[in-house]
């Protein structure tokens, strides 16, 4: 069980890297990784109404089941409980139990269907990690299909807030998840 503390910034990667350069912050760009996230809910939308999410993330060589609890959003930083693990792990089972699911079989998607959950939205993105010299923050350059470019900054909330203030990006922070943005996007 852990707390996710992050700022999701609506900023182009070029502009973000330029801001880092201007602030004298040294960085290394990691290898891009394709991710496919499928978010589930009950047909009545009870998870969304409770401001929680259940996601299955697939990336090369790995699948993760994630529960995200209700969020607190303050000063550009979002904080929420996050339970995450590979299928069959104690963390994944805890994530499923958090939404009232007791897996009935090895196939997680089948267990979700049997429990009455349905896929609500799929988020496809390319995520590129950025390593900041001398920092324990986790930075990701995200290119989200249908939404464009974003930057996520994860770490202790005070350090995240200090970082986005330093780069003058607090007003570029968004409260919504990628899934919510895709659902609300005009068609």
Contact assessment for residue 16 and residue 34, using Cβ atoms and an 8 Å cutoff: no
Tokens matching residue 100: 């009232």
Please, what's the b/e burial string for 113-141 (b: 16 or more CB within 10 A of its CB; e: otherwise)?
A: eebebeebbebebebbebebeebebebbb
* Residue 153 in this model has a pLDDT that exceeds 70: yes
The pLDDT value recorded for residue 1 is 59
Question: Average of pLDDT values for 135-147?
Answer: 97
Calculate what percentage of the chain has a pLDDT beyond 70.
98
The pLDDT value recorded for residue 18 is 97
Q: Which residue blocks in 23-138 are alpha helix, DSSP H?
A: 46-49, 90-98, 108-114
* Residue 67 in this model has a pLDDT that exceeds 90: yes
Instruction: Please report which confidence band the pLDDT of residue 187 belongs to, taking 50, 70 and 90 as the band edges.
Output: low
pLDDT tens-place string over residues 72-116: 999 999 999 999 999 989 999 999 999 988 876 677 888 888 889
Prediction pTM value:
0.92
Q: Compute, in degrees rounded to 10, the torsion defined by CA atoms 37, 30, 71, 112.
A: 20
Instruction: Please report which confidence band the pLDDT of residue 9 belongs to, taking 50, 70 and 90 as the band edges.
Output: very high
Nearby residues of 124 by Cβ (< 8 Å), 6 or more positions away: 34, 35, 36, 37, 144, 145
Contact assessment for residue 59 and residue 33, using Cβ atoms and an 8 Å cutoff: yes
Question: Average of pLDDT values for 132-148?
Answer: 96
Nearby residues of 38 by Cβ (< 8 Å), 6 or more positions away: 55, 56, 58, 119, 121, 122, 123
* Residue 184 in this model has a pLDDT that exceeds 90: no
The pLDDT value recorded for residue 104 is 64
The pLDDT value recorded for residue 2 is 87
* Residue 58 in this model has a pLDDT that exceeds 90: yes
């Amino acid at each position: 069980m852990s707390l996710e503390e992050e700022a999701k910034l609506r900023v182009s990667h070029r502009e973000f890297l330029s801001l880092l350069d201007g602030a004298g912050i040294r960085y290394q760009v990691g290898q891009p990784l394709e991710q496919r996230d499928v978010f589930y809910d009950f047909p009545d939308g009870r998870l969304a109404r409770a401001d929680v999410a259940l996601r299955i993330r697939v990336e090369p060589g790995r699948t993760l089941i994630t529960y995200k609890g209700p969020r607190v959003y303050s000063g550009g930083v979002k904080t929420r409980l996050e339970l995450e693990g590979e299928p069959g792990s104690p963390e994944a089972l805890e994530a499923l139990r958090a939404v009232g699911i007791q897996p009935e079989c090895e196939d997680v998607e089948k267990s979700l269907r049997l429990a009455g959950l349905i896929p609500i939205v799929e988020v496809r993105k390319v995520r590129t990690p950025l390593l900041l010299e001398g920092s324990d923050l986790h930075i990701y350059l995200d290119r989200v299909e249908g939404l464009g470019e974003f930057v996520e900054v994860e770490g202790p909330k005070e350090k995240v807030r200090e970082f986005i203030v330093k780069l003058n990006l607090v007003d570029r922070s968004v409260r919504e998840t990628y899934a919510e943005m895709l659902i609300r996007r005009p068609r």
